Amino acid sequence: MSKDNLLDRRQVVSTLLANRKDVVAIGGLGASTNDMCAAGDHARNFYLWGGMGGAAMIGLGLALAQPKLPVLVITGDGEMLMGMGSLATIGLQKPSNLSIAVLDNEAYGETGGQTSHTSAAADLVGVARACGIGDSRAVTTMAEVEAFAKAVHDVSAGPRFANMKIDSASLERILPSRDGTYILNRIRGDLGFQPI
Amino acid sequence: MHARADAADTAPNWPDDIFATLQRFDIRQVPYVPDAGHSRLIQRVLASSTMRGIPLTTEEEGVALLAGAWAGGQRGVLLMQSSGVGNCINMLSLIPILRFPFLTLVTMRGEWGEFNPWQVPMGSTTQGVFELSGVQVLRASNAAEVPAVLEAAASQAYNALTPTAVLLSQRLIGAKVFTK
């Protein structure tokens, strides 16, 4: 079931990653990881196939370890709701190089499309702002997506949060590698870290 | 109102031994859920110029954080209480999948003179939960063995990528005493 006048998720993620340069991107468990892969596999893509709720915290750990690198978490509304406390943790740490983009289709697309809390009650932008993430945006147009994609590269002005309303269309799955050790070590290698 | 055996005027030195080991292993990120047993170590971490103490809202955040830290080239250690171990179970799955160095230091409740029955179920299953999740468990029961246990744990965690939990027993910490 697809709503009118909502953003196309693949177009959103492609735009976020189009001129990524040195961005490290973390995809949440579910379709957002597939969207990242659909936009093009990359050595700095951190695909999650499990650990639901952990995407933003992986982003925080990475952002604190590499404060000059732009770190972008791209996750879904269900994943973000499960790790909502991490927004408070991020608000406290204020990593200026961390950006979080939530692809909000108001549904749990991976499990049959059950309605999520964002459809009627939970305002993730309000939550993020109330947790101390001052730059928290509600995004409904591609122009706003493009502006956010540009902002991601400013590693001195974050953390920033964007809740992007996407349509709930179910798309063909583009599956990245499922080998977590490979995914993580590929990122480490690209950042210049040798295997132990 | 409560008083603890490790009140400030009788503070033991073993948390300083832990801090020294963490410094030697170049630990940079220290996520924690506030906990009385870890309070002295947390103070040392927060005062450190090389380590970053990161308060969490729930322990599982710390597991994911350490995966990200390692992706970015930094080592970390997760400080928590036995009651928080249960909060981590699904997130512990990241450790074998991503194969990043994992060390956690767990102050124990629910054992050795525990007065609060609500602490007992999780305290008594902490070791089993870790072992079922693929995390090796070491234990320190007295102050004298803390340096050697920490050294062993940090070595195997960071050098041999062997996920390790150190249980700091309630006997070491001192059972919580509530007084009216």
Summarize pLDDT for B91-113 with one digit per residue, the tens.
999 999 999 999 999 999 999 99
Asked whether residue A84 is domain-assigned, the answer is: yes
Task: Flag if B57 and A180 touch (Cβ within 8 Å).
Answer: no
CA–CA distance, A6 with A152 (Å, rounded to integer): 22
Domain that holds residue A79: 9-191
Structure tokens at A110: 């991976």
CB A42 within 8 A of CB A13: no
CA distance A145 to chain B (A): 25
Of residues B61, B71, B73, nearest to A86 (C-beta): B61
What's the pTM value of the predicted model, to 2 decimals? 0.95
Q: What is the pLDDT of residues A61-86, one digit of tens each?
A: 999 999 999 999 999 999 999 999 99
Range with lowest mean pLDDT among A64-68, A107-111, A176-180, B48-52: A107-111
pLDDT of residue A5: 76
Picking from A51, A62, A181, the nearest residue to B90 by CB comes out as: A51
Helix axes A55-65 and A85-93, enclosed angle (nearest 10) = 10
Q: Evaluate whether B80 touches B61 at the Cβ level (below 8 Å).
A: no
Please answer yes or no on whether A61 and B64 come within 8 Å at the CB atom.
Answer: yes
Q: Is residue A18 part of a domain?
A: yes
Q: Does residue A1 lie within any of the structural domains?
A: no
Question: What sign for the dihedral angle of Cα A176, A181, A182, A184?
Answer: positive
Distance from CA of A186 to the nearest CA of B (A): 9
* CATH code: domain of residue A95: 3.40.50.970
Residue written as token pair 């909000």? A104
Question: Residue B1 — pLDDT band, cuts 50, 70, 90?
Answer: very low
How high does pLDDT run on average in chain A? 95
Q: Is residue A2 part of a domain?
A: no
CB atoms under 10 Å from CB of A111, counted, come to 9
Give the residue from A23, A82, A177, A184 with the most B CB atoms within 10 Å of its CB, the best one to mutate: A184
Q: What are the tens digits of pLDDT across the range B128-169?
A: 999 999 999 999 999 999 999 999 999 999 999 999 999 999
A184 contacts B65? CB cut-off 8 A: no
Residue A154 lies in a domain: yes
CB A52 within 8 A of CB A92: no
Is residue A4 assigned to a domain? no
A196 in any annotated domain: no
Q: Domain count of chain A?
A: 1
Find, among A185, A107, A141, A150, the residue nearest to A17 by Cα: A150
- Of A8-17, A187-196, B167-176, give the lowest mean pLDDT range: B167-176
Note whether B89 contacts A: Cβ–Cβ < 8 A.
Answer: no
B57 neighbourhood in chain A, CB within 8 Å: 85-86, 88-89
Does residue A181 lie within any of the structural domains? yes
pLDDT digits (tens, 9 = 90+) for B30-80: 999 988 999 999 999 999 999 999 999 999 999 999 999 999 999 999 999
